[in-house]
Structure formats: structure tokens, C-alpha cells
């Protein structure tokens, strides 16, 4: 999309209102479906098609609008996400069929991790994984297929268990020194990465600590544990070597798709070699249906819904970017006090996050303007970076039209073992991001951490 920056902005009938209408239509539709209890992201396809149609209707230059949509859908980042969703579906299907989920549930039962304790343990595991790898989406992809269905045997409340997993994924994305949002916030504000991570703990740790306690209290549910230790084949725990191998590769900064592909290969070898899955179950020809079936095909089908959603959404996002809406919201620099400047930065990154629906892209879009505001008013660089990063680690993990919540909802499909949840439910249960948003508002509107940050900068 770099070439588009040299083109005149995409105009719409009605100006800014017309440019925002397609995105607003999608947001309203997604929210309605969420409150209506529609858990399937396929329902959002029609909403996105409506939004794309509105964009074409409201844009005088329809041919260019269509080209912008196609360009947005064909970005390398979009194709990367789609390939990751498909590979993640296959990986999850293999691990589930091997009996690993039942073994994990039995192991949790054996050591006494029941109900809320299991939710808290899931939160800690996701925190560790996301902090080590710096990827919230990678954590969601790997942790949901393992930890969510395992909760069926622990008496964990499905709602709070799903919230614990996405909450842990959020934690690392916010504080990990190898997270793309941490790097983007530090570099755009010209501050040391280590200083940003250290100063961010005053926001992240209170939210994480309170979330850990809350998940332990709320996560018990009414479910009767179904896993019996004596009935579980603990040898299936050998399959943990596959996700451990993926984690190892990600820690070595291996490409996500390469790591997932290696994980699929190792999972096939372990599952078939260990006798947990017959080779015929991996892939076979179904002559009656005139097609191929098996775990590989089933896994790919799991990723179809979120992949099409991603394609259509990125078409809308590209139109929003080409209309220069983000620039309009971040161009004003009228603040005259530190408090007003922080509110302006917060407002700009909020608008950018809502309009681009992508965390690091949102930071890059308003990073320069935020730095100018901060340097003019004397707002420390770490403070600016924390406002930017903490903001983008809240909305995408709370609201039902962002990819993390949609992806997590898609991964709650576990063949009736646990209930499928909607993206709205996933976001509502993410206590860490809600608490993080409350702390952020206290920082911006009440001054929490302002004097401390200024002293550290001096």
C-alpha cells in the first residue's frame, strides 16, 4: 500500500461521514450479531459484503475504490494471517485427535487444578507463551486448541476459561520486548526498548494480578469434571513436544508460518508414530463424496471462516486508509498542557486503532504526530509509548469486530466438548484488557503514573 500514499485520497460523497459509513455499518452489524448470540464469524461475511457495497456506492471513483479493496486484500500481511489461520486449524485438529486434550485434562485433575484454578493456570501459561514469543495471535492459535477443550475435564467455566486464555495472550503482546507493538511504540517515540518495558509494568502487572485472582474466583462454573485420571492415556502427553517445538522455533525468531508448518510435520510424526492416530485418519479419499477427507482437510476447513473474514475486512480497512481518515483524526495538535496532550494522543491512537483494526499499523499511523505533541509539551517518551501500546492492547482484544476476538471464537469449535463462544463473549471475558483499559483511563484522565514517569525521564 506504499504506492497509495502518493495518490490523491479516496473521496466519498458526504466527505468524512461518507468515508466512515462503510466501517460504521460493519461495526454496527458485528455488534448486533454479537449481542444476538451469533457465534459464527461466517455471519459477519454478509455484514462485510454490505460494507464493501456501501463503499463502492458512496465513492465517485468506483474503479479506483475496487482496486484499493483488492490491494488491501492482497497485502503480504493479510496473506500471512490467512496462511497462519489455515495451518493453525490443521495443527489443532491433529493435537485434538491424538488424545492430548484428554491427557491434559487428566493431568490437571491429578494435580488438583480444577475450576477457577485451571482458569488461572491457563492465564499464566498464555502469559508466559505470549511474553516469550511476543505474538498474541500465535499464542491464541496454539493455546486455545489445547487449553479450552481441556477445561471440560476440570470443571472450568467455558466463558472465563476463554477469557483467561485471550487475556494471557494480551499480556505478552503488551509487555514483551519482542512484541511488534512494543517495538513500534518505542521506535516511533525514540526511546529505549528496555525503558519502555520497565515503565509499562506499572500498568500491566496490576491488571494481570487482579485478573489472576478474579479468574480463580469466577472460573469454577457449574460443570462437573468429566476426566477420570484412571481412564486417561497419559502417553498422549508426548504430543506436547509438537507445540514445544513451535515455541522453540518462535523463540529463535523463526517465521510464524515456518514454525507452524514444522509443528504440523512433527505432530503428524508423533501422532502416527506413537499410535495415537492412524495414518488413514490423517488424509484419505472419500469416494462416496468424491473428495479428500481426514484431519488435514478438517483442519483446513476450520480456518476458512476466519480467513474469508480477514480478506473482506482488509478490503474495508484499505478503503479507510486510502481516504486518509486516520490522518484527519491525528493531525490536530492544539493541546497546550501535558494532560490535554496525553488525551489528544489517546484519542488519536484510539481512532487509529478503530479505523485500521491493526495494532502495530495503528501505532505507526499516529506515532509521528504523537511524538511531536509530546516533545512540544514535555511528555516523556516512555509515557507516550505506553499510551500508544496499552491502547492497542485493549480494543482489539475486547471488541467483536477485531481479528483476535474473531480468531479466538473460531478456535472454540471443539466438537461439542465445550460450547462455542462468540467474539463478543470472548471480549467480555477478557478481564486483563478491561482492567488495562481502566488503568489507562486513570493514567490519561487522572494522571496516574505521570509524575513517576517524568522523574524517571529526568
pLDDT tens for each residue of 95-113: 778 887 777 777 777 777 8
State the total domains in the chain.
Answer: 2
Torsion, Cα 151 153 156 159, to 10 degrees, reads 50
* 67 lies in some domain: yes
* 409 lies in some domain: no
Give yes or no: residues 218 and 313 share one domain: no
Give yes or no: residues 166 and 188 share one domain: yes
Give yes or no: residues 372 and 453 share one domain: yes
Helix axes 241-251, 76-97, angle to 10 degrees: 150
Give yes or no: residues 166 and 204 share one domain: yes
pLDDT one-digit tens code per residue, 250-285: 778 788 788 888 988 998 999 888 888 888 888 877
pLDDT one-digit tens code per residue, 120-176: 999 998 998 888 777 888 888 888 888 898 887 788 899 999 999 999 999 988 888
Neighbours of 252 (CB within 10 A): 8
Give yes or no: residues 257 and 209 share one domain: yes
* 171 lies in some domain: yes
Give yes or no: residues 348 and 221 share one domain: no
Give yes or no: residues 69 and 124 share one domain: no
* 52 lies in some domain: yes
Q: Which domain holds residue 370?
A: 14-74+307-398+439-457
In angstroms, what CA-CA distances link 75 with 51, 80, 314, 318, 369? 20, 9, 9, 10, 25
Boundary (domain end) residue, out of 272, 305, 338: 305
CB 344 within 8 A of CB 373: yes
How far is Cα 79 from Cα 73, in angstroms, rounded to an integer? 8
* 5 lies in some domain: no
242 has a pLDDT exceeding 70:
yes
* 104 lies in some domain: yes
Per the rule left: phi > 0, alpha: psi between -120 and 50, beta: everything else, 283 is: beta
Give yes or no: residues 88 and 228 share one domain: yes
* 416 lies in some domain: no
* 360 lies in some domain: yes
Boundary (domain end) residue, out of 245, 270, 305: 305
DSSP state at residue 10: P
Residue 348's contacts (CB-CB under 8 Å, 6 or more residues apart) are 329, 330, 366, 369, 370
Boundary (domain end) residue, out of 283, 305, 327: 305
Amino acid at each position: 500500500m506504499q504506492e497509495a500514499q502518493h495518490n490523491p485520497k479516496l473521496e466519498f460523497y458526504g466527505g468524512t461521514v461518507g468515508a466512515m459509513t462503510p466501517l460504521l455499518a460493519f461495526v454496527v452489524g458485528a455488534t448486533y450479531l454479537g449481542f444476538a448470540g451469533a457465534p459464527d464469524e461466517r455471519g459477519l461475511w454478509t455484514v462485510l459484503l454490505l460494507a464493501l457495497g456501501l463503499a463502492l456506492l458512496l465513492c465517485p471513483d468506483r474503479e479506483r475504490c475496487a482496486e484499493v479493496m483488492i490491494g488491501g486484500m492482497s497485502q503480504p500481511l493479510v496473506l500471512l494471517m490467512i496462511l497462519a489461520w489455515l495451518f493453525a486449524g490443521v495443527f489443532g485438529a491433529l493435537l485434538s485427535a491424538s488424545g492430548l486434550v484428554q491427557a491434559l485434562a487428566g493431568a490437571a485433575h491429578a494435580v488438583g487444578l480444577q475450576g477457577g484454578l485451571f482458569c488461572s493456570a491457563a492465564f499464566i501459561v498464555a502469559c508466559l507463551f505470549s511474553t516469550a514469543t511476543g505474538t498474541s495471535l500465535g499464542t491464541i492459535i496454539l493455546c486455545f486448541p489445547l487449553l479450552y477443550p481441556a477445561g471440560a475435564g476440570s470443571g472450568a467455566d467455558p466463558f472465563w476459561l476463554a477469557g483467561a486464555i485471550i487475556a494471557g495472550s494480551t499480556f505478552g503482546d503488551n509487555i514483551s520486548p519482542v512484541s511488534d507493538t512494543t517495538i513500534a511504540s518505542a521506535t516511533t517515540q525514540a526511546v529505549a526498548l528496555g525503558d519502555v518495558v520497565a515503565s509499562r509494568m506499572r500498568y500491566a502487572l496490576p491488571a494481570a494480578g487482579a485478573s489472576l485472582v478474579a479468574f480463580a474466583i469466577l472460573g469454577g462454573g457449574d460443570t462437573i469434571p468429566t476426566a477420570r485420571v484412571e481412564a486417561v492415556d497419559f502417553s498422549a502427553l508426548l504430543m506436547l513436544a509438537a507445540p514445544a517445538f513451535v515455541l522453540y522455533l518462535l523463540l529463535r525468531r523463526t517465521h510464524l508460518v515456518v514454525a507452524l508448518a514444522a509443528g504440523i510435520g512433527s505432530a503428524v510424526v508423533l501422532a502416527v508414530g506413537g499410535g495415537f492416530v492412524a495414518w488413514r485418519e490423517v488424509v484419505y479419499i472419500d469416494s462416496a463424496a468424491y473428495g479428500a477427507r481426514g484431519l488435514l482437510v478438517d483442519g483446513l476447513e476450520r480456518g476458512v471462516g476466519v480467513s474469508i473474514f480477514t480478506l473482506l475486512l482488509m478490503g474495508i480497512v484499505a478503503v479507510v486508509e486510502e481516504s486518509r481518515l486516520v490522518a484527519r483524526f491525528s493531525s490536530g495538535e492544539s493541546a497546550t498542557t501535558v494532560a490535554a496532550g496525553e488525551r489528544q494522543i489517546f484519542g488519536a491512537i484510539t481512532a487509529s486503532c478503530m479505523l485500521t483494526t491493526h495494532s502495530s499499523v495503528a501505532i505507526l499511523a499516529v506515532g509521528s504526530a504523537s511524538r511531536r505533541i509530546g516533545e512540544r509539551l514535555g511528555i516523556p517518551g516512555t509515557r507516550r509509548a505506553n499510551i500508544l501500546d496499552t491502547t492497542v492492547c485493549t480494543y482489539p482484544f475486547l471488541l467483536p469486530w477485531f481479528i483476535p476476538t474473531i480468531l479466538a471464537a473460531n478456535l472454540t469449535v471443539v466438537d461439542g466438548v465445550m460450547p462455542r463462544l462468540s467474539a463478543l463473549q470472548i471480549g467480555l471475558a477478557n478481564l486483563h484488557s478491561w482492567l488495562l483499559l481502566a488503568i489507562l483511563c486513570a493514567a490519561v484522565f487522572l494522571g496516574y503514573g505521570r509524575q513517576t514517569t517524568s522523574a524517571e525521564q529526568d
